[in-house]
Amino acid sequence: MGLDFAPMEGITSREFRETHAACFAGVERYWLPFLSPTSVHQLTPRQKRDLEPGPLGCGRLVPQVLTREPEDFLWAAQALGELGYGEVNLNLGCPSGTVVSKGRGAAMLRDPAALDRFLDAVFARTPLPISLKTRVGLESPEEWEGLLPVLARYPVRELTLHPRTRRELYRGGVHPETVRRALELLPYPLRYNGNLFTPGGVGRLEAACPGLSGIMVGRGLLADPALAARCQGGCRERRALVDFHETLAERYLSFMHPDAAVLPKFKELWAYLALLLADGKPWKRLRKCTRWTEFHSLALNLLQNAALLEEAEFSRIDQYECW
Report whether pLDDT(228) > 90. yes
Alpha-carbon distance 279 to 108, whole Å?
Answer: 42
Among 263-267, 273-277, 290-294, 312-316, where is mean pLDDT lowest? 312-316
Q: pLDDT tens, 29-53?
A: 999 999 999 989 999 999 999 999 9
Alpha-carbon distance 320 to 316, whole Å?
Answer: 9
Predicted local confidence at residue 170, as pLDDT: 86
At 239, the pLDDT band (50, 70, 90 cuts) reads very high
At 318, the pLDDT band (50, 70, 90 cuts) reads low
Q: pLDDT tens, 67-91?
A: 999 999 999 999 999 999 999 999 9
At CA 54, angle to CA 53 and CA 56, rounded to 5? 80
Q: pLDDT tens, 126-163?
A: 999 999 999 999 999 999 999 999 999 999 999 999 99
At 9, the pLDDT band (50, 70, 90 cuts) reads confident
Residue ranges of domains in the chain: 32-194, 238-305
Arithmetic mean of pLDDT over the chain:
95
Sign of the Cα pseudo-torsion (88, 92, 93, 98, in order): positive
Among 96-100, 147-151, 236-240, where is mean pLDDT lowest? 96-100
Considering only the top CATH level, what class is 32-194? alpha beta
Predicted local confidence at residue 29, as pLDDT: 98
Q: pLDDT tens, 114-130?
A: 999 999 999 999 999 99
Predicted local confidence at residue 315, as pLDDT: 79
Sign of the Cα pseudo-torsion (177, 179, 180, 184, in order): positive
Sign of the Cα pseudo-torsion (21, 25, 28, 34, in order): negative
At 319, the pLDDT band (50, 70, 90 cuts) reads low
